[in-house]
Structure formats: C-alpha cells, structure tokens
Amino acid sequence: MADGFDLLIRAPRVITGGGEGEIAAAIGISQGRITAITPLDRAAGAAATATMPTPPATPPAAATRTAATVLDLDSGVVLLPGLVDSHVHVCEPGHTEWEGFATATRAAAAGGITTLVDMPLDSVPSTVSVAALEVKRRAAAGQCHVDVGFWGGVIPGNLAELAPLHRSGVLGFKCFLIDSGSIHFPAVADRELAEALGVLSGLGSPLLVHAESGLAAAAVPAASGPGYADYLASQPRGLENLAIAQVIEAARATGGRAHVVHLSSSDALPMIESARRDGVAVTAETCPHYLVLTAEEIPDGATAAKCSPPIREAANRELLWDGLRDGIVDLVVSDHSPSTPAMKELDSGDFGAAWGGISSLQLSLPLVWTAALSRGFSLSDVTGWMSTQPARLAGLRRKGRIAVGCDADFCVFAPDESFVVDPDQIHHRHPVTPYSGHTLTGVVRGTILRGEWTEPSRPRGRLLTRNAT
C-alpha cells in the first residue's frame, strides 16, 4: 500500500471545513476513513503503485478499484469535504414516479453531495412511525449512490411515536405549521408544536419546522393563473414571520431545539438573532433558489420556479446573503422537491395549480458558489454552509469535514471553470429546472465516497442511523 494507506490524496488546495481556509495537504485513507493528514511537502516523495490524475466526471471502474493508489490533484481543483444536503424529498415508495432513491442519489453524487437526509413526507407511507421508517429503508436499500439518513415526522396524534423513532435511528424530526400538500402529513397546531419540542428536548433531537402560518394563510386569497406577482402576493412574508415567532417562543418555553427550514423572508432575521442572544436554541437554513433567483426575474407562466415559501424580491435576496455573512442563517440546502412535469403545469403556466417545489440537487454547489463568489465570499464559507453545518444539524459526526476519523468523503471541485446548465445533463428523474441556460461557475470533477469514486453503475451508499453516524 502507498505509505500504508488504501488511498493517499495529495492536494495543493484543500478546504477541510475546520475554518482555517485553504491549505495544501496529503490525506491518508484506510478502510474508508481518513487516518492521517500531513502537510503536502512531507508526502512529496511517497511511493505509488498507481497514480490517478484529476478524475473525469465519471471515472472508469478499473481506476476506482485500484488498490494502493495515490491521487495527485492539480492546482486547478480544490478538495472539499463531500457536501451534506439535509433537506431532500425522495418520494419512494408511493410516488417513485416523482423521484426515487436511485435517481436522486445519482444526481447528488454528480453534484458533489456524499450524504443526504430524506424528508418524512412525499412518500407513502410518510415516515411518522417505526413501521413506516422500515418501509422507507427497505425501499432505499441497494439503490443509493450516496449515504442516506432519514428525518422522522411530527403530525397530530403521533407524539407517542417520537421516542421509538428516535431509538430506531432517525436523525431528527420535521413538522409543518401549514398545509403540507399531503393528506398523510397534516400540520400541527400550536399546542402540538410545543408538546413535540418538549419531548424532543428530552431526547436531544432537533425539530425542523416548515414555518408558515396556516391560520394566517387561510385569510389570504389563493393565487390562480400565470401571474408570478399574484402568486407572490398569495404568500406574503407575514406568513413566515408569524410562524417563526411562534417557533421561537415554543422553543424558549420548552428548551427544545428548533430549526427553521427554507427561510425566504429576510424580515425574520432580526427575530432569530434576538432569540439566540436570549439563549433560545434556534437555527435556520436557506436554499439556492432564494439566493440566486429573484421575483423580478421570473416571467409569468414560469412555473418551474414555483416553490413554497416563494422566491422573493432582489432586496430580500441580498438581506438573506447578509444573514449568511452575519451567521444568522446557518446553512444552505437544496430543498430538492421533485414532481412530474405535468404537476408543474408547464403547459398552462398556472401558478395556482402547479406543484410548489424546485429540484436542484445536482446544481446546488455551482449555484451557490457562483452567487457567493460575486459577493466576496470564499469557498471555505460555502463549505461551511453546505457541508459542515448540515452535518452538525443532523448529528453526523463523521461527515462534513476533512479530519482524522471522518469518513473519506470528498468533492473534487474546479472553482474557476464554468458551464451552461443543460437539462439533458441532469440526473434527477425529471429534468425540470428554472436554471436552464444559466452559466454557472464551478464544476464538480468527481465525488469520492468512503475512499472510492462514485459510479452510476455501482450504488455504494449506506443507510445511516443516529446510532452509527
């Protein structure tokens, strides 16, 4: 073996996720784990039985299985920790025609993501009991190209299921304060939110909350037709602001750990910041579409851009970037929310009837990097938002960093290269995207899962549990 390792990566540019910026390092890997990190110059003379250059997007199977390998990266690429996407809707079983584990995880691997966490709704059954979790795990087994964990669900009447689900290995829980769009996953009321936070506080488990107020939404006229301005008016910021205030106060009262998913309203940032100063355990995420797209740019009828909460104005977008800069927004995840093209009403352009979700697993990193670069952020910043912090939210101690003891999960990223988004090159089940034709900076050259290249023909992902993370 090369220096006693299964794989030795020699990289002049590495982002570890530890906050120290870019370094040059040699990384030794044994049995799928990082076992040594040394300065690059100390490894300059290491012997190699096989040398592998920077990989193509789909490396040949023979190269991936070569033992005692040295991987020499050039200065045109940066070695990142494999991305962790903690907000992904995989709709299998029950709605596999929307998205399945094979296609979702293939898209994730193509985008440098080595771990994703599946949301508890949009499949049938929803993951709201141990029995449903087992159905989900059986559906995923043997299909995954990246590692996959699972969130459990909180719905009215399943409070007694939370501790058993926790013992069965879910990484945390998710609830809605507004109609989820699924009859199998109804929203919780104020009392049920507080009760769940109280139970989960005792378990040390986070509660992820879709924070829009269902009560306030009932008073707002629903949108119909192709006008994006009409759709935006049907989901005002106040729906989020009210719900986030509710979440904060429930977390304050119970001592529970709350996480606001897909934040789109910048109005809520001062509330979150104030709550943290008071010691309330509340975190927040946003998504590539809120950081890249703007309401002013979405044409009428362009339902590929419909999501909930909606994409808001350019000024709001810039305030979300300020929230990331100030550390109020903790992480960036895809909220990959797929559907069939027919569900997106692409022909009619009716925002009222269209499915509210954007699929962007494969494009998340270049989308965020392109926008971050133009605002003076570093690749270390992006790594923190998209790898280290999502792993921390999900309690995945061996993910999200390049450190001794962590899984040998990497993204080989060319930050200065560019490409034009072509739907024909997208791997999720339905190549519907609002980014078609966009020129993006940053190309994923290859993805390494536990020390081996990912391959479309060889799913190697594991199903993660809370007790083995």
Distance in angstroms (rounded) separating the CA atoms of residues 158 and 14? 45
Strands 22-30 and 50-52 come out as unpaired
For residue 193, pLDDT over 60 is answered with yes
Distance in angstroms (rounded) separating the CA atoms of residues 141 and 281? 34
- Containing H/E element for 105? helix 101-110
Q: What proportion of the chain, given as a percentage, has pLDDT over 90?
A: 91
Decide: helix, strand or coil at residue 256. Answer: coil
Could you tell me the pLDDT band of residue 42, with boundaries at 50, 70 and 90? low
Tell me the mean pLDDT in the region 263-280. 98
- Containing H/E element for 84? strand 83-88
CB 327 within 8 A of CB 385: no
**pLDDT tens, 112-146?**
999 999 999 999 999 999 999 999 999 999 999 99
Q: Rounded to the nearest 5 degrees, what angle is found at the Cα of 304, between the Cα atoms of 301 and 307?
A: 105
Among 19-23, 45-49, 439-443, the range of highest mean pLDDT: 439-443
For residue 347, pLDDT over 80 is answered with yes
Q: Rounded to the nearest 5 degrees, what angle is found at the Cα of 147, between the Cα atoms of 145 and 148?
A: 110
- In this prediction, residue 463 carries a pLDDT of 98
- Containing H/E element for 393? helix 389-393
Q: Which residues pair with 440 in a beta bridge?
A: 419
- In this prediction, residue 240 carries a pLDDT of 98
* Among the ranges given (61-70, 249-258, 367-376), the one the predictor scored with the smallest mean pLDDT: 61-70
- Residue 31, Cβ density class (10 Å: 0-12 exposed, 13-18 middle, ≥19 buried): exposed
- In this prediction, residue 3 carries a pLDDT of 60
- In this prediction, residue 4 carries a pLDDT of 83
Tell me the mean pLDDT in the region 198-212. 98
Distance in angstroms (rounded) separating the CA atoms of residues 230 and 354? 13
Distance in angstroms (rounded) separating the CA atoms of residues 47 and 374? 41
* Among the ranges given (53-62, 255-264, 312-321, 339-348), the one the predictor scored with the smallest mean pLDDT: 53-62
Could you tell me the pLDDT band of residue 469, with boundaries at 50, 70 and 90? low
**Could you say which DSSP state residue 321 is in?**
H
Strands 83-88 and 113-118 come out as parallel
State which amino acid sits at residue 298: I
Q: Which residues contact 247 (CB under 8 A, 6 or more apart)?
A: 177, 193, 209, 211, 258, 260, 282
**pLDDT tens, 65-109?**
344 589 999 999 999 999 999 999 999 999 999 999 999 999 999
Q: Rounded to the nearest 5 degrees, what angle is found at the Cα of 435, between the Cα atoms of 432 and 441?
A: 135
Distance in angstroms (rounded) separating the CA atoms of residues 21 and 277? 27
Query: What's the full length of the chain, in residues?
Result: 469
Adjacency order of strands within the sheet including 147-150: 83-88, 113-118, 147-150
Domains of the chain: 81-393 (3.20.20.140)
- In this prediction, residue 54 carries a pLDDT of 42
Decide: helix, strand or coil at residue 156. Answer: coil
State which amino acid sits at residue 97: E
In order of 110, 223, 339, the CA distances from 228 in angstroms are 31, 9, 20
